[in-house]
Structure 1
Amino acid sequence: MKYLTITETEALYQEYLETGKIISYSEDFETFFKIQAEQELGITAYDRTIQLRPGLKIKISGGKAKYTFAREIQHHASMPLILAFQLAGTYRVWTEGIGNDYYSEKRGENYLFFLPGTKEIEELPTGENLERIRIIVEPDIFRNFSSSQIDLMPTELKTLISNDSRQIFHRNVGSITPAMQQALQQIINCPYQGIARQIYLESKALELISLQLIQLTQSQSGIISSSSSGCLQPDDIERIHQAKSVLEANLENPPSLIELARKVQLNDYKLKRGFKEVFGTTTFGYLQKIRMERGKNLLAERMLTVAGVAQTVGYKSPSRFCDAFKKHFGITPRNYRMSLNF
């Protein structure tokens, strides 16, 4: 297992910035970061931070390790409150002051934690795609509500907000509900640009905060919501996640709906209905989205021509790719690549 200390991580970060193994750029209120270190560390990783307003941001991140990889993390003393939604993969974490052993953050679960000034060790498993969305919130945002509303909040939050407590905590809130999953996919697939995009994404972040508060309150009261379980069985949801992975691995030659259903051993109707329920979009809509995101990343890397990018993400015709890219992002691939120079 490869293990990196905090000092080693910081040194590698500077080295990779200088050698171009880290790509970082900003667009309006969003910052994009990507690291390609397969030969050196056996990992690829990406991070997208969306600054919505002071005290509220969204962070979308993920990656994959060729072999088990662990790194130390030192959280800043001013680290805010984090709502975490694990969309893909499972990894182990050890946190100073939270028990004596490792715990797992698992696919399909959501978490709430406040860990300022703590040290963590994250252990990434071999060959597993990881993806998570985090809502990062300063406690001051909650202090705008009346004291009577704060009193109704879950214990950890009430203590943090009312008393300005610095007591650390990490809590597994429960399974990601269909309503949460829909909001998460709407964040990933946001079709808007400019201020409309910022307002839309902020509304989704606030929606996720609300949904997690509801789940926390229900669990403290011993209430199990029928709407949180959905009509899909756990095995169905597992197979739907497998279908998502199949699409991601076959951008150039994706299977039809019937072929995809066969691969994951679901009937096509259940896959079609279940995929929309879990991810908030159709299989074709998701395929289109990941093609566009992959194409955007490849354009930023500047290793391929526009025609080469089109072919890599499954378009036989460069013009069709250009039309789809402009429809999705509101800018042509050529103009997008040129905009990165400014």
Structure 2
Amino acid sequence: MQLTQDYRDKKVSPLTLNIMNAEVHSLFDQFTDLVQGSSQFSEWQEHISVPPAVGQGSIRRTRIRSGMEIVVTDITFAQDMKLHIQEACQLFELSYCLNGEIYCEWNGRESFTEKMTGNVLFFEDELVYEEKKAGIRQHMLEIRLSPQELLHYAGDITEKHRMESWLHRHKGQIDEYPNTPAIHKCVSDMMNCSYNGTMKRLYMESKAMELIALFAEVEGHETVGGNRFLSRDDLSKLEQARQLVIHHFEQPLSIQQLARRVGLNEFKLKKGFRERFGITIFELVRKQRMEKAIWYMETEGYNVGETAVSVGYSNASNFATTFRKYYGCNPGDYLKAIGHSRTSSP
């Protein structure tokens, strides 16, 4: 994780907070008090801005009801943020990280969350250490519920038993779930909600229900019994394949090479990859290349040709065609736009 130059130069000491999370809503409340955030309240929503000494950005919380809240964090910390959280209540959480890097440690276990990943957890009595590095935008959606509120959404006894199995399966764990296109769209809808007041609360709750339902579909790939196309061992190998694709996106491995590396036949690799992650291997390579291309142009100041080569394209024309399909504009036009934005900024 690379810190910003300002942070390295100033050698700012990390900020360490100790929080006792006695009920679902207390984490937000205590964090606000400890960082001395500036708060704005409405009937259903609270918005806090952190002071400059802590960082830049804000946190929004929508309280759906007692025992359920939706929290959107968008902060770049000025110093490393270290949290010691005593989870003294039962907490079920679905989260989605749009950007950031979060390290967690609890009960001898570790978890590292990065951008475009979703996590599910169920904590009952855990001491959790959490660390977020300075200079990295932390953009996160969290749906936080008590188990009773989760079961509130069960339509019948079968669904209730399924949800109870989630709690049992994920107890004491932070587990990653696949980033399917439907999940990504649902999260995007929640992040870009334009409603206010009661309508916003209703919209956010409906989207939270949708995300829970989409998670249920993901969980279906791991249920016991029935026609199981993928075993748990297969799922582990597919995750290895996903990591290899991400690591080698500039010079992608062939399907044959990838299948050999993880120990799956090519049919199961291709079909299982699409079912597990909601995206094909080719689409993931393209996604990684396009996201990295934006980074090279915005952060490193590369021109179109330099960017094309850096993300694995030998032909700048092919790169431009893919970029246009992915983002809706030519890379040259994008460079002009960000150049104009920088020159016009105060």
What TM-score range do you get, normalising by the shorter chain? 0.5 to 0.7
Give the corresponding residue for 1:6. 18
1:230 aligns with 2:279: yes
Secondary structure, counterpart of 1:73 in structure 2? strand
**What is the distance in 1 between the residues matched to 2:31 and 2:208?**
32
Secondary structure, counterpart of 1:197 in structure 2? helix
1:72 aligns with 2:84: yes
**What is the distance in 1 between the residues matched to 2:44 and 2:17?**
31
Does the C-alpha gap of structure 1 residues 78 and 16 become closer, same or farther in structure 2, counting only changes over 3 Å?
closer
Give the corresponding residue for 1:27. 42
Q: Contact 1:111–1:170 (CA<8 Å) still a contact in 2?
A: no
Q: Contact 2:179–2:278 (CA<8 Å) still a contact in 1?
A: no
Does the C-alpha gap of structure 1 residues 203 and 267 become closer, same or farther in structure 2, counting only changes over 3 Å?
farther
Q: Contact 2:186–2:207 (CA<8 Å) still a contact in 1?
A: yes
Q: Contact 2:71–2:141 (CA<8 Å) still a contact in 1?
A: yes
Q: Could you report, residue by residue, the CA deviation over 1:187-213 in whole angstroms, capped at 9, with x for unpaired residues?
A: 111122333322222111111111112
Give the corresponding residue for 1:114. 122
**What is the distance in 2 between the residues matched to 1:35 and 1:67?**
12
Q: Contact 2:120–2:174 (CA<8 Å) still a contact in 1?
A: yes
Give the corresponding residue for 1:145. 155
Does the C-alpha gap of structure 1 residues 138 and 12 become closer, same or farther in structure 2, counting only changes over 3 Å?
closer
Match of 2:203 among 191, 194, 200: 200
- The 5 A counterparts of 1:237-276 are 237-242=287-292, 267=319, 270-271=322-323, 273-274=325-326
Does the C-alpha gap of structure 1 residues 235 and 70 become closer, same or farther in structure 2, counting only changes over 3 Å?
farther
Give the corresponding residue for 2:189. 186
**What is the distance in 1 between the residues matched to 2:324 and 2:164?**
37
Q: Aligned residues: percent identity?
A: 15
Q: Contact 1:154–1:217 (CA<8 Å) still a contact in 2?
A: no
Number of equivalences:
262
Q: Contact 1:240–1:264 (CA<8 Å) still a contact in 2?
A: no
Does the C-alpha gap of structure 1 residues 193 and 217 become closer, same or farther in structure 2, counting only changes over 3 Å?
same
Q: Report how far residue 126 of structure 1 moved.
A: 4.2
What residue ranges of structure 2 are gaps of 5+ in the alignment? 1-12, 20-26, 231-271, 312-317
**What is the distance in 2 between the residues matched to 1:15 and 1:226?**
44
**What is the distance in 1 between the residues matched to 2:40 and 2:286?**
38
Match of 2:103 among 69, 78, 92: 92
1:82 aligns with 2:82: no
Q: Contact 1:49–1:59 (CA<8 Å) still a contact in 2?
A: yes
**What is the distance in 1 between the residues matched to 2:59 and 2:309?**
30
Does the C-alpha gap of structure 1 residues 209 and 169 become closer, same or farther in structure 2, counting only changes over 3 Å?
same
Instruction: Tell me the amino acid that sits aligned with residue 93 of structure 1.
Output: C
**What is the distance in 2 between the residues matched to 1:119 and 1:91?**
16
Instruction: Tell me the amino acid that sits aligned with residue 125 of structure 1.
Output: K
Match of 2:141 among 133, 140, 146: 133
Does the C-alpha gap of structure 1 residues 230 and 26 become closer, same or farther in structure 2, counting only changes over 3 Å?
same
Q: Contact 1:239–1:264 (CA<8 Å) still a contact in 2?
A: no
Give the corresponding residue for 1:62. 74
Q: Report how far residue 93 of structure 1 moved.
A: 0.7
**What is the distance in 2 between the residues matched to 1:110 and 1:264?**
28
TM-score by length of 1: 0.61
Secondary structure, counterpart of 2:136 in structure 1? coil
**What is the distance in 1 between the residues matched to 2:187 and 2:322?**
21
Does the C-alpha gap of structure 1 residues 218 and 173 become closer, same or farther in structure 2, counting only changes over 3 Å?
farther
Does the C-alpha gap of structure 1 residues 13 and 48 become closer, same or farther in structure 2, counting only changes over 3 Å?
closer
1:172 aligns with 2:175: yes
**What is the distance in 2 between the residues matched to 1:11 and 1:87?**
24
What residue ranges of structure 1 are gaps of 5+ in the alignment? 161-166, 250-257, 277-282, 288-310, 317-342
Give the corresponding residue for 1:338. none
Q: Contact 1:109–1:172 (CA<8 Å) still a contact in 2?
A: no
Secondary structure, counterpart of 2:205 in structure 1? helix
Q: Could you report, residue by residue, the CA deviation over 1:236-283 in whole angstroms, capped at 9, with x for unpaired residues?
A: 33344457779998xxxxxxxx99x9799684554455459xxxxxx9
Instruction: Tell me the amino acid that sits aligned with residue 274 of structure 2.
Output: S
**What is the distance in 2 between the residues matched to 1:124 and 1:54?**
28
Give the corresponding residue for 1:298. none
Q: Could you report, residue by residue, the CA deviation over 1:285-318 in whole angstroms, capped at 9, with x for unpaired residues?
A: xx9xxxxxxxxxxxxxxxxxxxxxxx99x799xx
Instruction: Tell me the amino acid that sits aligned with residue 156 of structure 2.
Output: S
Instruction: Tell me the amino acid that sits aligned with residue 52 of structure 1.
Output: I
